[in-house]
Structure 1
Amino acid sequence: MSEMNAAHKRELDSTGYVVIDGFIQGDELSQLREAAAAAEQLTRSHRWPHRRVVGKQFPPWSDADTPDSWGLRLPQFRAFYANTRLTALAAGLIGCDEGALQMELFNMLILPAKTSFNLSWHRDHVNHAIEAEAEEQALRVPHYGIQFNAPLYDDGCLWVVPGSHRQVRNHIQRELSCNTLPTTNPALMPHAKQVHLKAGQILFYNANILHCAAYPQSPPAPARATLHGSFGDANGGSERAVGVLQHGLEWMKEPSFGDGPGRHMWLRLLDMYEKAGWDEKGGKFSLTE
């Protein structure tokens, strides 16, 4: 690992997230913006049904849930996700060999067209209703993965509590994150910080950092197209499965989806699906509504 990447790893371990400048530049940024506009149009016209929707934080989602989406099957996105610049960095931050990476969540975050909304404060691999003692134990369990946000336009939607990936919530934090109700004001959370990302930066974060998001209606909000995804260490087994398969990735099992860059990572995802069928944790997801 290079000295710079080692510094990124130390910051990630300390604060729960790290921002890297200039990850997407020039022609790549322009091409991804064009692809983002096409993907948004496909989704809003209901020609791409696999999307997240306003008013429902956790899956499953159906196209009938609501007409307002916030969500990839375009080649530009697949090439970005499988690019060795990204996979090598992700593997280093996870602390695994690049050959052990598995394909996981990858979508695009946009702004809702009809109504503003917020997510609840949550951790992706620790249930919101868990008691303090169990929470402390859960935070000690490695979850063998890393998540990222890569904004194609400036983005200030994400809020985090730095260091909370290693800290049990205090009583005020618990009151503000003990259910899945949308937060009315993220700034009320003790020690909360709004993360302001510039176009072309990339943010990696520990999925157990306490975080939420606030999505203003667009327009008149500025454009937003942020690539959001995760990679996992295939050695994580059931600990990884309970946090990933809850996102409703069944459509990724289609054989045609495996054709293209990153096929080796896709095969590991299928292997995780197969093992989750008989593993003792199969079907027991990290989060529930």
Structure 2
Amino acid sequence: MARLNPEQLRASLAKDGFVRIPAAIPADRLEKFREAATEATRLARAGQWPYIRTVGKQFPPWNVEDRDKGVWGVQHLMHPDMPAHLRKTFAESYFDDEVVQCVRDLLQAPEDTLVMELYNMLVRPEYDYALRWHRDDIPPTVSPEEELERLQHPMKHAQWNLSLWNDSSLIVVPGSHKRARTEEERAADPFAAHLPNMLIVEMQPGDIVFYNNNILHRGVYDHTAERMTLHGTIGLTGKDDARARNILQHGIGSWASKSTFAGLGMDPHLEARAEAMQKRLIAMGSGENVGFSQDD
């Protein structure tokens, strides 16, 4: 399958709310990412990594004391407390040339405007689990008028899933990022197995899917199918209170200024990119009293 050019990438994202880039990560690097993901997942499930997403709670904050309910996500992959060899690999995957170029193409942004944001991992719990239909930064209680108004805000970030194994967990309603929910969608059970026109996003190992975080979507996890999917966002400089809340609510502001990418042994140009993007994140603030986008 031919790779989409920048104009096609933007057109697909604008039309559907998501775009898949097949085989974006070659097999040799994919295996390295898999090894790091497997070790980090083991640490999280064993209670040796406190930053996790726990079953039964869809949005932050999560409590490590709920780990026994099940783990469906591993947070803060580039935290300074992450073992150095894992942190290096995760940083290399986040600041990867292919990933960053896609972000620049989608946002039509120069590199010196990019901001380091979230980097987490979505994993299968120990039993089947599903998230409810949602938009990441727009709660379901807003009126149709407010929903539409907020959907019209220009994108100031790119969000992606990088699959390390086959992954069919992400389900979207194409085009729903451009409109308020229909009456049928508003009335539907939040965990409805089907919505009109919904699409299961089928990903192969090494695929990347970029998607608008306010597309109507959900995650459905089959515990029998291995899943480790790197889940990241990169933003743009400029004041945006809603975007700052959406990022800083995860707690990244509490450790970003204590972190350094020097000494990890990364390629020098990746290290320089990481340090520059990190400084722009620090300028966003610590996140104290920023609040949360959603309640659950």
Q: Same fold (TM over 0.5)?
A: yes
Matched, 1:286 2:274: no
Q: Which residue of 2 aligns with 1:173?
A: 185
Deviation at 1:236, TM superposition (A): 4.6
Amino acid of the residue matched to residue 209 of structure 1?
A: I
Distance 2:215 2:239 in 1: 19
Indicate conservation of the 8 Å contact 2:47/2:67, yes or no. Answer: no
Deviation at 1:184, TM superposition (A): 4.7
Indicate conservation of the 8 Å contact 2:60/2:292, yes or no. Answer: no
Q: Which residue of 2 aligns with 1:203?
A: 209
Deviation at 1:150, TM superposition (A): 0.6
Matched, 1:243 2:246: yes
Q: Which residue of 1 aligns with 2:268?
A: none
Which segments of 5 or more consecutive residues in structure 2 lack a partner in the other structure? 265-270
Give 4+ residue runs of structure 1 displaced > 4 Å after superposition: 257-260
Q: Which residue of 1 aligns with 2:267?
A: none
Flag the 1:95–1:239 CA change in 2: closer, same or farther, 3 A: farther
Deviation at 1:229, TM superposition (A): 0.8
Indicate conservation of the 8 Å contact 1:258/1:266, yes or no. Answer: no
Indicate conservation of the 8 Å contact 1:52/1:70, yes or no. Answer: yes
Deviations 1:95-119 (A, max 9, x none): 3222111111111111001x32111
Indicate conservation of the 8 Å contact 2:107/2:155, yes or no. Answer: no
Indicate conservation of the 8 Å contact 1:58/1:288, yes or no. Answer: yes
Q: Which residue of 1 aligns with 2:281?
A: 269
Q: Which residue of 1 aligns with 2:37?
A: 36
Flag the 1:254–1:46 CA change in 2: closer, same or farther, 3 A: farther
Matched, 1:21 2:22: yes
Q: Secondary structure at the match of 1:150?
A: strand
Deviations 1:62-93 (A, max 9, x none): 21023221222421111110122211211221
Aligned sequence identity (%): 35
With normalisation by structure 2, the TM-score equals: 0.86
Distance 2:10 2:53 in 1: 30
Q: Which residue of 2 aligns with 1:156?
A: 168
Paired residues, number: 273
Q: Secondary structure at the match of 1:52?
A: strand
Q: Secondary structure at the match of 1:147?
A: strand
Q: Which residue of 2 aligns with 1:57?
A: 58
Q: Secondary structure at the match of 2:147?
A: helix
1:66-81 matches, cutoff 5 A: 66-67=67-68, 68-71=70-73, 72=77, 73=82, 74=86, 75-81=88-94
Amino acid of the residue matched to residue 242 of structure 1?
A: R
The 10-residue stretch of structure 1 (139-148 or 246-255) with the greater mean CA deviation from structure 2: 246-255
Q: Which residue of 2 aligns with 1:192?
A: 198
Q: Secondary structure at the match of 2:54?
A: coil
RMSD across aligned positions (CA)? 2.0
Deviations 1:134-173 (A, max 9, x none): 1111111124111100101110001000001101111111
Which one of the candidate residues 192, 210, 232 is aligned to 2:235?
A: 232
Deviation at 1:254, TM superposition (A): 5.0
Amino acid of the residue matched to residue 217 of structure 2?
A: H
Indicate conservation of the 8 Å contact 1:118/1:213, yes or no. Answer: yes
